[in-house]
Structure 1
Amino acid sequence: SEAGGAAWMPAPPRPSNCPPGLEYLSQVPFLFSLTGFETNNKYEIKNSLGQRVYFAAEENDCCTRNCCGPSRPFTLTIIDNVGQEVITLQRPLRCSACCCPCCLQELEVQAPPGTPVGYVIQNWHPILPKFTIQNEERMDMLKIVGPCVVCSCCSDVDFEVKSNDEMSVAGKISKQWTGFLREAFTDADHFGIQFPMDLDVKMKAVMIGACFLIDFMYFEKSN
């Protein structure tokens, strides 16, 4: 299959007040998000042991994908090992320019689908890619700060996850460079998501959403 033969991560017990399906995130400090099937809009999310945690598929038509390219709106559904829809990512259509507030990108994360648990908000900055992670009540929880030059031609690209005051680093989202030949001849993108083990599972789900938004905005090739 397109997703390969990776084994699924065994389902751990679900903690109290944990949305169904997010229990997988309660026991992982690190995820590999393999956005390796762009032609079919399908994605794998694995843990650090290589076990598949989730499988995701973008719901979009060919016309929207070709006309809007990386700036396209999308709904991305994430399922667990029993086929249950556990997370939905929704991105509205906005132009890719960031010269005014109305153009800034936003992503809503729902878990389970239909229940917002957080948002990824692009912040205006003249040089740096910056985002705010918000909870379901639109309260700022974390910041994401990228490098001034976003290019993965010869090294990893790190987007640091920081505290709300940006004084301490809590994790990172990394676009992992896998070598020129592989980058040149495949659509596979490899991302690592690192977050504190004790971070709320809802915020971990929002971090997954941030990874997808960063991929679409900075690394997906425009048709």
Structure 2
Amino acid sequence: MSSFPVATQPQKMEMTAAPGVPGLPPSLQYMAGLDQIIVKQKFEALEVLTGFETRNRYAVLNNQGQQIFFVQEESSLCERCFFPQNRGFQLHMTDNNSVEVMQFSREFKCCTGCCWCGEGCCSMTINVESPVGRIIGRIRTGNSKWKNHVQIFDAADNHMFTIWGPCCPFQTVCCPEDIDFPITDPSLQTRVGNIAKQWRGCCAESFTDADQYCLTFPPDMTVDCKALLLGSLFLVEYLVFERQKKNN
């Protein structure tokens, strides 16, 4: 799948903000009609050759492989080197005109996100702002005995969605199927979306740490909710697969 900027997004940027969502960056209106987003982590040669943890970068694509947004991590060099799994960060999401439209932020924690102590002082929490300074919600880890557990809240701290990951979220040459993280309502009765960690091939999985994800959701979902689900994708990336990379 190629990764090139979508040519039609500038016209989308001229659209007015969605009704009932004052202050929403106009370029995010491109997400209003989408039901699928692909997130591809950029390959970092320096990290592969030296093992030095660099800042993560991601291309956000539509289902035709066209880049619609770009995400760049901002984090402390010290924390990336000595506390890579626990580091605090800000993820700046910009549109194709290099305008920042969303920010995902997390504070440094000494203990973060393990199944047994996913809540309280050990909670891994990502705040979602769009535009920067306007909190639209939070994504937090929850307690469980062995599965990864993620809860999604809106700006008023209402529980909107829940994600329960698989018991064993690993991919191998013998087991290359996508790893699914179903997104449900808080009652766990209705499935509203899915995050899939996609298999990129034997060589890519063995020699690089640039993951690829597919996020699906209903096309009529509000842009704010889609933004929160995108934030939950990054929480899954740092909670589960960033940890796997460092352990490997």
Provide TM-score, normalisation by structure 2. 0.83
Q: Which residue is 1:159 aligned to?
A: 181
Q: Which residue is 2:124 aligned to?
A: 105
Q: Partners of 1:132 and 1:41 in 2: how far apart? A: 24
Q: Partners of 1:5 and 1:93 in 2: how far apart? A: 32
* SS of residue in 1 equivalent to 2:161: strand
Cα drift, residue 40 of structure 1: 4.4
Q: Partners of 1:47 and 1:68 in 2: how far apart? A: 33
Cα drift, residue 62 of structure 1: 2.0
CA RMSD of aligned residues (A): 1.7
1:7-46 to 2 correspondences below 5 Å? 7-8=5-6, 10-11=8-9, 12=12, 13-14=15-16, 15-18=18-21, 19-20=24-25, 21-37=27-43, 39-46=54-61
Q: Which residue is 2:148 aligned to?
A: 129
- Structure 2 residues without counterparts, runs of 5 or longer: 45-53
Q: Is the 8 A contact 1:30 1:195 kept in 2?
A: yes
Runs of 4+ in 1 over 6 A off after TM superposition: none
* SS of residue in 2 equivalent to 1:182: helix
Cα drift, residue 45 of structure 1: 0.4
Percent identity between matched residues is 30
Cα drift, residue 10 of structure 1: 2.0
- Structure 1 residues without counterparts, runs of 5 or longer: none
Q: Is the 8 A contact 1:98 1:104 kept in 2?
A: no
* SS of residue in 2 equivalent to 1:172: strand
Judged with a 3 Å threshold, the aligned counterparts in structure 2 of structure 1 residues 9 and 190 are, in CA distance, closer, same or farther, namely farther
Q: 1:63 aligns with which of 60, 78, 86?
A: 78
Cα drift, residue 118 of structure 1: 0.8
> Which deviates the most, 107-116 or 65-74?
65-74
Q: Partners of 2:207 and 2:43 in 1: how far apart? A: 13
Q: Partners of 2:222 and 2:137 in 1: how far apart? A: 11
Q: Partners of 1:60 and 1:178 in 2: how far apart? A: 27
* SS of residue in 1 equivalent to 2:19: coil
Provide Cα deviations, 1:149-207, integer angstroms capped at 9, x if missing partner.
11122221100000121101111001001222110112221000001111111111111
Count of residues paired in the alignment: 220
Q: Partners of 2:19 and 2:96 in 1: how far apart? A: 20
Q: Partners of 1:118 and 1:141 in 2: how far apart? A: 10
* SS of residue in 1 equivalent to 2:84: helix
Q: Which residue is 1:181 aligned to?
A: 203
Cα drift, residue 68 of structure 1: 1.1
Q: Is the 8 A contact 1:71 1:217 kept in 2?
A: no
Cα drift, residue 98 of structure 1: 4.2
Q: Partners of 1:182 and 1:37 in 2: how far apart? A: 10
Q: Which residue is 1:171 aligned to?
A: 193
Which structure shows the bigger proportion of residues in strand conformation?
1
Q: Partners of 1:86 and 1:190 in 2: how far apart? A: 22
Q: Partners of 1:143 and 1:98 in 2: how far apart? A: 15
Larger radius of gyration: 2
Cα drift, residue 41 of structure 1: 2.0
Provide TM-score, normalisation by structure 1. 0.92
Amino acid at match of 1:132: Q
Q: Which residue is 2:47 aligned to?
A: none
Q: Which residue is 2:51 aligned to?
A: none
